[in-house]
Amino acid sequence: MHLFHSLKKLSRPSPATSLSIPPPTPPFSTPSPWHVSLKPNRGSWNQIFGLLFLDNPIGVGFSIASTPEEIPRNQKDVAKHLYIAIKQFIKINASFKGRPIYIIGESYVRKYMPAIGYHALKKNGKLRHVHSKVNLVGVVIGNGLTDPVSQVATHAANAYYIGLINDKQKRQLESLQAKAISLAKKGYWSEATNARSEVLNTLKNMTGMATSYNIRSKLVGEALHENLMKSVKYMVEFLVKNTKVLLYEGQLDLRVGIVSTEAWVKRMNWEGIDKFLEADRKVWRVNSELAGYVQKWGNLSHVVLLGAGHLVPHDQPLNSQAMIEDWVLEKGLFANDQIENLSTNLANIL
């Protein structure tokens, strides 16, 4: 069993902060999957942070599973593997010991983020010596499928109210959604996952707009199939009580968008949820240009990025870079209730 990692150090001096687990903004990009030439990515998140990329779960990319049985089948096993990998990385690279760690994921990886954060904080609580702990100080969930039962119910209304489907199609989708929800509530997880796929495929056919990047490894897909519709909301509730949490979505995401996220956020079992829901949603600008909206209270921040779909850093690389830098450094909208984004890094590289 082997988890592959790649470390990308920061581009210039910065506070001693590291980001861990696969941020979707590498230092280099390619024109397309069919071109292997590399060019610097101005929106990379390693401008002022170090990045640790992990091919995860075991069985994907360069992370090798000796046998199919080693491929994890639930988020708890995924979290255990990631935790061991982070601990081993810190052991090998002593300079990272004690440095702040942020774990970040987008698309299906978003389900791993609450799991690894939850696992790490629980482990930390059992360790006596501070140097034995993973110094987790923040978790980022992009377009997160966190509480599937509440989220799958939003697709029809979301598409209808932005004019992508008509009333007849809306009713068709609602019927399919109800089937997925019913199966999940009965604990028929594999069937519920199939039913959700039917919802998304129908939506794609109705709109002609969605581009689906899905499971690329059949073995891994089959291993985690039953896990997809299971909720990790309770893990996020634990995280927000103990560390910073950032949720973000692209305004145009049809798969797991803003309405989908708000559906589960407003149901959070957290003492600060009422104050968060009453907090102002502020206009966010990058270099004086409208970039999106930010809502924040306590440890929880929620960002909507304009002009972005499901893969936010790909669609809005510079704005997502500004978002993550200001959130980590607690600048701009993430401090002092200011309206304007204060990221200086973006201006420096333009």
Q: What is the DSSP letter of 101?
A: E
**Strand, coil or helix: what is 139?**
strand
Q: Residue 66 half-sphere exposure, CB side, CA atoms within 13 Å? A: 2
- DSSP states of 235-300: HHHHHHTTSEEEEEEETT-SSS-HHHHHHHHTT---TTHHHHHHS-EEEEEETTEEEEEEEEETTE
Q: Which of 310, 315, 326, 343 is catalytic?
A: 310
Q: What is the DSSP letter of 2?
A: B
Catalytic residue among 63, 107, 260, 301: 107
Helical packing angle, 112-124 and 75-92, nearest 10°:
60
Question: Is residue 207 within 8 Å of residue 159, measured between CB atoms?
Answer: yes
Please report how the helices 233-240 and 112-124 are oriented relative to each other, as an axis angle in degrees rounded to 10.
Answer: 50
Angle at 319 between CA 318 and CA 321, to 5 degrees: 65
Is 5 part of the annotated catalytic residue set? no
- The answer to whether residues 292 and 324 touch, using CB atoms and an 8 Å cutoff, is no
**Catalytic annotation, pick one of 253, 301, 302, 326:** 253
- Cα(232)–Cα(178) distance, integer angstroms: 20
Is 253 catalytic? The answer is: yes
Torsion angles phi and psi, residue 141, rounded to 5: -125, 110
310 is catalytic: yes
Residue corresponding to tokens 């990272």: 96
Q: Nearest to residue 170, comparing CAs of 183, 158, 182, 181?
A: 158
The residues that are catalytic are 107, 253, 310
